[in-house]
A and B are shown apart, each in its own frame.
Chain A
């Protein structure tokens, strides 16, 4: 854009240290009014730290933030909000116990005679929701809505005030295509109004669709600021990773050889109300089976049924190799069928335990309390997984909660792989993690399959499902409608298959 317009936000020399570690070192960053800016970088590159410093959630150890050319110092998120900087965080930070309207209006409810005017709270919230094309009951409790709706409510909250700078940290990770389109419409509208928007996403497509300018960070330092037209995707990825393009490319999945094609896990007529009905699935040794379906099609429910996390209401699950039908996760693990849950923060990683303890958890649980794994062996085991999966920082005693999303995912995988599984069910293993870690996970899945493991791979990104899976099972309304080899599919043809019933219904 033209450089005559002064930047709305200017961060210079931003430095943040956590103890001995420097999370952000002397980074310059600027945002212009009416522009969508993207902050790109791998996990641990310092994106979150920079956002937090900008929004008052973290103090800067050095450097300064200028808003409209005036130096400002935010001591709390409240200060930043007063200054017109609103943030929607990646992990939804609303209050499920309160109503949708309250979540939007909390802290600045309209009052009459000193008391909150609930009627106006609701009517103003309805307007804010309508701006986002969201038609839900503002008086309903937030917790009763889906994650996607909650995410949109969080955005509605940010937009319902006089906003100068809007920070969206991975806003689309739980939205479906229509919802993303709606969000983009709103972002474009805000651009017209001269709002500066920071859009952080690991979906490169979306970044290229909506953004005007990109700032790339790597290991806490600035790589550069670029206009989007001047930066090819491959160059962007290379700048983020600091590796050459050749190293980044994923390996093509090798087709499972014929002699291996022996069923290891089969489910017939699997039913778990209300998520899945009469789903039939068969998993062959050494293959990666991708599961594709829309939000609410029963992807997670099927994964949980396959690993006996949820009790079946009907149908049979059979681990062919051992001839067992597990009914609890413990039995499933005994038959070496393991599950990596979608929500790693609440269902997977235990924040306060160290990386080592997190990795050893499942194995020790399998041994039982009376056969304690010697500490030295545990350490060795954990260290070997940290090295094999490239978990960074390679510090075994660091609490797992301090790791970035991608590394937490790797810790989860290490925990499961330590059990020497036969079947690995991965539910959205790459959600919310950056390109580098994503490629790592995808490659790892391929390697595991080559060595004879069977993997069920669930992802909302169809492209990824196609790339990683040998076959793709298409899930609609809780049943598997078809299973096709991924060679013959394109993203578009898969999308058509996945989305079919919706078109009929509407």
Chain B
């Protein structure tokens, strides 16, 4: 408390005071800035190394190739903010994708198939949420159940890849809106809309703030009279809906559904969210950060392509980055708890 008093009076410390104010207000943005910094450094390095790396086309490719991952990451951010985890997203994406492909190939119109696949994602999310809350199952285990269930359902729909010929769905990927060199497809737009909706939900609704509150301390949130049960379950439903949407986007992107799609995607998603500065313990993080995390992830993949190195390096680098981020988060958390 004395800090505050002295900081306000001395003119010499105005700069320091401003810095302190920033730190006391926005400490949780610091990991996001770190992710931005990493992105900038990677861009800078590639530009210097290759000379012609940075271009609007690259930005477009970065967004469109990772649209599905971006959508998954937004949903995952909600769940991780509550202190949970959702391992089912990759399988749910595969299941809804193959369900969609199968339905449209049997002549079901896209206008029916798409709502159905999103509902399927939501239902699996609901199941996980109910398991977590009412049966007090660890989120890790509950979402593992969801993961196996969704993968099994995907195989039940079809064991082989199903080609999509529905023009509406294919148009999601083939329609290109061009702005000079920059172009975007409806799948990219969907991903960006999901990001915007995610930001608005988390920052400007009571539901969103309750998500943060639960991640901060569930018991306190309950004693404060916040609707903990509803919010927590809804977080998993949102993640399921996002996985359903990601299934649509991936199906459009690949022009087919495949039951083995997205194995390991849940881990990529978690990696992107953590690199984007969301604390795995919950309560701190941003959708924008997760978006940056996805871009960092995508840029690593592109860079490795450009360098002509083995793809296995992608995983090693992502692993290394994750390690750094988790350790940095730990340090931030322990330092802030020591200050009080």
Interface residues contributed by chain B, number (CB under 8 Å) = 36
In the complex, which of the residues B27, B200, B216 has the most CB atoms of chain A within 10 Å of its own CB atom?
A: B216
Please state if A140 and B2 are interface contacts (CB–CB under 8 Å).
no
Contact flags A392-412 to B (C-beta < 8 A → 1, else 0): 000000000000000000000
Distance in angstroms from B55 CB to nearest chain A CB is: 37
**B225 and A115: CB pair below 8 A?**
no
A93 touches B226 (CB 8 A): no
Q: With an 8 A cutoff between CB atoms, is B221 at the interface? A: yes
The chain B residue sitting closest to A52, CB to CB, is B223
Given contacts A106-B224, A144-B24, 19 further A-B contacts (CB under 8 A): A77-B224, A78-B226, A89-B223, A93-B220, A94-B220, A95-B221, A97-B283, A116-B204, A137-B4, A140-B21, A141-B25, A141-B27, A141-B28, A144-B27, A144-B336, A146-B1, A146-B340, A148-B1, A157-B224
- Give chain A interface residues in 93-125, CB to chain B under 8 Å: 93-99, 102, 106-107, 109, 111, 114-116
Q: Which of B1, B206, B223, B340 contacts A109 (CB 8 A)?
A: B206
Verify B216–A98 contact, CB threshold 8 A.
Answer: yes
Query: Does B222 have its Cβ within 8 Å of any Cβ on chain A?
Result: yes
In the bound complex, CA of A78 to CA of B209 (Å): 17
B340 with A147: CB separation less than 8 A: yes
Which residues of A come within 8 Å of B, CB atoms? Answer: 57, 76-78, 81-82, 87, 89, 93-99, 102, 106-107, 109, 111, 114-116, 135-137, 139-141, 143-150, 157, 296
Closest Cβ of chain B to A21, distance in Å, is: 22
Contact with A along B1-29 (1 / 0, CB 8 A): 11010000000000000000101110110
- Kindly list chain B residues whose C-beta atoms are within 8 Å of the C-beta of A78: 225-227
Across the interface, do A137 and B24 meet the contact criterion of CB distance under 8 Å? yes
B161 within 8 A of partner (CB): no
Residues of A close to B215: CB separation below 8 A: 97
Query: Does any Cβ of A come within 8 Å of B212's Cβ?
Result: yes
- Bound complex: CA A89 to CA B27 (Å): 27
A115 touches B205 (CB 8 A): yes
A97 touches B25 (CB 8 A): no
CA distance A102 to B28 in the complex (A): 15
Q: Which residues of B contact A95 (CB under 8 A)?
A: 212-213, 216-217, 220-221, 283
A82 to B227: give the CA distance in the assembly, Å: 13
0/1 string, B190-230, CB within 8 A of A gives 1: 00000000001001111001101101110111111111000
Write the B223-251 contact mask toward A (1 if CB under 8 angstroms, else 0).
Answer: 11111000000000000000000000000
Contact of B336 among A116, A143, A157 (CB under 8 A): A143
Bound: A143/B206 CA distance, A: 21
B299: CB under 8 A from chain A?
no
With A93-B220, A93-B224, A106-B224 known as contacts, the answer to whether A98 contacts B212 (CB < 8 A) is yes
Say yes or no for B178: interface residue by CB 8 A criterion.
no
- The 8 Å CB contact of A139, one of B1, B25, B219, B283, is B25
Q: Return chain B residues, CB-CB under 8 Å to A148.
A: 1
Q: Identify 15 residue pairs between A and B in the complex whose beta-carbon atoms are under 8 Å apart, listed by A's number.
A: A82-B225, A93-B220, A93-B223, A97-B284, A98-B213, A98-B283, A115-B204, A116-B204, A137-B4, A141-B27, A144-B23, A144-B24, A145-B340, A149-B1, A157-B224
